[in-house]
Structure 1
């Protein structure tokens, strides 16, 4: 646990308590900026109290669940904080959700209120199924007065945000649930993670400690604010550090450096393929002309890690975590980067083990198994999945949270993420990480994105299919891709099939839906055996 966190009692590990603390200590300090508007800590606290008073007139009270479906904005942060100010629970909704995906989240959360930008009103109204819990639609209308549905009681966000009054003297504790965030449902319905305030605070404190964030820093946020990383690693971390967060509508690889310079950012984050997209931009001698010196980049392919840092003159730190467990593993500014490793366990706050996926037997360093986690500080991991008791018990079996991820420790205590267990590939007696194969394929210049899956082979074995999205206008040649793979991976991991796609199927949170790619089999895929492409083993024999 970082020093700043140790100085506070657990009762202070809530957003209302910390906003009050920052407002008392530095009321005029800049906290949030979006476009041309900047708010101080006192400005935010004032806006939060007014909106919370408005929400209270609609009956929102402690323990209630309020959904938010808004684009990045200052109003979104104020809405989140106002909900927590009342002791209620924010439920951020991915704005890409539609139809049955959105219906499931609204019904599973049992929220009576949804705060939405005007542009999402039709999306909510078009949900075909019943939404029995939803009573109120609070509409933020920055662009005019569109027709509003009569299906629910409709309230104007601007009117609610101007309420004057005295809020009840509420006690919000670190044990209270502060948020429900929905994880991607790649194999089933999305699961709502019940996050106590201490869980949210732990993530923020970890970010402050890991990135050495001070009150003089500026954190640039270009991730969507319905994402756990943007909320807790960036916005809440800025609150806890007493620094400024500059919010942009979205990530743009072509504009990222300009935004970093314009915002004066000293820290930021790149997740998923964002770092690779940035790396693929034409290089310039000015790429290092900015103030950003610390960056969470997860994952950062080992093939480009060191050259990425040199090109952009930024220290990149990796993490291992998920919404349910915060960030129990991270790299450190004080230690050299170890290629491929997520870092070391934060042993003051977590226990992390590698166990056999079927028996839960602890495995020694060097052996791959399932990553399991448990907290050393109370209330800092999820308290369950909303409305899914069986899933909760399954995840917490034997009093360890089972991540479903495969990994290993080396002898020095560094953790290496290998793959999602269900995505592992078994080929000719070898366990193959789809993640590691993808990192090589993604390094091929003509490929912008890829996913690697197992497809059935003879005698119960797996063959490997690489599904790729290629650069526009490029005459893509699968043979050239496999030549690239042959130089950079074991012979048994080289894909047999290559399927070129316009886009990969994804969940609303951007995770690739691999079971759809597996279900497609080999139909329409290029087969290296059909053209006589030969892969030789290390002994020089031909692999069939």
Structure 2
């Protein structure tokens, strides 16, 4: 066993591991207890279940049937969650789309998903002006009413106002392996892949993360991440499984974050690594401890921030491994956290570290993380409409994460970087992640992204884009000297680029592809051109 306290719902029969069955079960158990809070709206467990049945009835009245896809392109709003749950209740498939999608990216996801209906914020209707109407799309539901921009859309679009609520329908008797949602990957290195998430995968998200976060029915889970992202969507299921309350807040604001979690009565929250950096860089204030948050799931946090963050804010950061395709197969309890390490593999799951031939490498040697699961349908079932990509990712019956990790002799896993972000220079593999961690230790650096650029020697050079702290003037030589004792000489950046902000996805991830594709640009500081010689300390 993995030593974590089991969830009360761990071990449900497979037929019970579906969203409709969970909604029914927890409504019967908790009834009028609050499950969902959003703005001024509060819904009990029973009311959330009933809203899902109404949403399912509304979709059915519009002609949506079992297995058909419903695209949802909205900022956080109650209709988005209602339709996700309504699709699961009906046996249809929810397809939440990133609201930042435009042009060919949006067209690809609408066409690839074969969506029958698109429910969209009315202000976003205009983004369809340059997207040909997909052949499968029957209607666009503008949730705030039909805007004037609808008249400018290409032929083939039928834009309607929000549908009137229909009578509720009985829950579809879904199996645990039936697709509940298609969640698209960011697609930063090619066309986005639609991850087919089965009903039981959501159940296991609720169980596994609930156990790792030590959730109870007394907890309030606060998130301000977007519901089209697996993090926020699965946080809802964590609350559902634990009998807790889920509070969906507005977009992240560093100056208001702690006040908002305090007002929500939150005990658990969810942060991205960039958010941790931003909060930690702010001047201390009375709000730092005026809240009840005990833990925050914060994957990708720099190791050097774990202890200072806990000491300042009283919050234990939780590192783990999870992805849209998998679940939460690696992690440990709050009291066992080790800064810079993701944890150990969970009971019922298997992890290996392999080389490019899928041969397992010794402990202490970095390689690709591959995963398997024992519980049926705990992972995604593949990429929708992309059989070749599915076979490639699940080759040899292991899911290939594309993440480069290291396992120590005690079975702990450490994230190094994405394989596509690995840099090879002077015959050595360089972890972009590790270089970033070193640069973030410098007082002048607020955020950084390290990426490869082409070298004159047909290999990679190390480049980095740096956001400085407010009011600071960048000193390239000082940053290089900072790196020298902390990095192998071949990993020290050659190019430094000072920028006002990093290119980010809506989910707060750095768009490395944008930086890689830019190459070396005018204004980049070149260490070799500047004649700065490295002091190869230790000459490893």
Common fold, TM-score beyond 0.5? yes
Equivalent residue number for residue 537 of structure 2: 538
Give the one of 55, 62, 78 matched to 2:59: 55
**Deviates most, 219-228 or 313-322:** 313-322
Give the one of 78, 85, 106 matched to 1:74: 78
**Gap change, CA 1:447 and 1:126, over 3 Å in 2:** farther
**Deviates most, 326-335 or 242-251:** 326-335
The reply to whether residue 225 of structure 1 matches residue 204 of structure 2 is: no
Equivalent residue number for residue 191 of structure 2: 189
**Gap change, CA 1:511 and 1:540, over 3 Å in 2:** closer
Equivalent residue number for residue 138 of structure 1: 141
Q: 1:152: Cα distance to partner?
A: 3.3
The reply to whether residue 171 of structure 1 matches residue 173 of structure 2 is: yes
Contact residue 185 and residue 507 of structure 1 kept, 8 A: no
- The Cα offsets for residues 330-378 of structure 1, whole Å up to 9 and x where unpaired, read as 132242x3221111111x2211000112x11111211111110011111
Where does structure 2 lack aligned partners over 5 or more consecutive residues? none
CA distance in 2, matches of 1:200, 1:439: 32
Q: 1:285: Cα distance to partner?
A: 4.8
Q: Secondary structure at the match of 2:484?
A: helix
Contact residue 73 and residue 249 of structure 1 kept, 8 A: no
Q: 1:507: Cα distance to partner?
A: 4.5
Q: 1:289: Cα distance to partner?
A: 2.3
Q: 1:473: Cα distance to partner?
A: 4.1
The reply to whether residue 9 of structure 1 matches residue 13 of structure 2 is: yes
Q: 1:76: Cα distance to partner?
A: 1.7
CA distance in 1, matches of 2:208, 2:307: 24
**Deviates most, 292-301 or 443-452:** 443-452
CA distance in 2, matches of 1:480, 1:135: 59
CA distance in 2, matches of 1:83, 1:539: 60
- The Cα offsets for residues 195-252 of structure 1, whole Å up to 9 and x where unpaired, read as 11111211121111111111111000110010001001x1111111111111112111
Equivalent residue number for residue 330 of structure 2: 329
Q: Secondary structure at the match of 1:361?
A: coil
Give the one of 381, 384, 387 matched to 2:385: 387
Equivalent residue number for residue 497 of structure 2: 499
Contact residue 184 and residue 511 of structure 1 kept, 8 A: no
Q: 1:8: Cα distance to partner?
A: 1.6
Contact residue 426 and residue 462 of structure 1 kept, 8 A: yes
**Deviates most, 407-416 or 464-473:** 464-473
CA distance in 1, matches of 2:257, 2:470: 21
CA distance in 2, matches of 1:319, 1:540: 35
CA distance in 1, matches of 2:171, 2:23: 15
CA RMSD of aligned residues (A): 2.0
**Deviates most, 514-523 or 276-285:** 514-523
Where does structure 1 lack aligned partners over 5 or more consecutive residues? none
**Deviates most, 511-520 or 11-20:** 511-520
Contact residue 108 and residue 191 of structure 2 kept, 8 A: yes
**Gap change, CA 1:508 and 1:256, over 3 Å in 2:** closer
Q: 1:169: Cα distance to partner?
A: 5.6
Q: Secondary structure at the match of 2:66?
A: coil
TM normalised by structure 2 equals 0.94
Contact residue 103 and residue 127 of structure 1 kept, 8 A: no
Equivalent residue number for residue 208 of structure 2: 206
Number of residue equivalences = 532
The reply to whether residue 129 of structure 1 matches residue 146 of structure 2 is: no
Contact residue 53 and residue 170 of structure 2 kept, 8 A: no
**Gap change, CA 1:262 and 1:507, over 3 Å in 2:** closer
Equivalent residue number for residue 95 of structure 1: 99
Equivalent residue number for residue 342 of structure 2: 342
CA distance in 2, matches of 1:3, 1:469: 42
The reply to whether residue 511 of structure 1 matches residue 509 of structure 2 is: yes
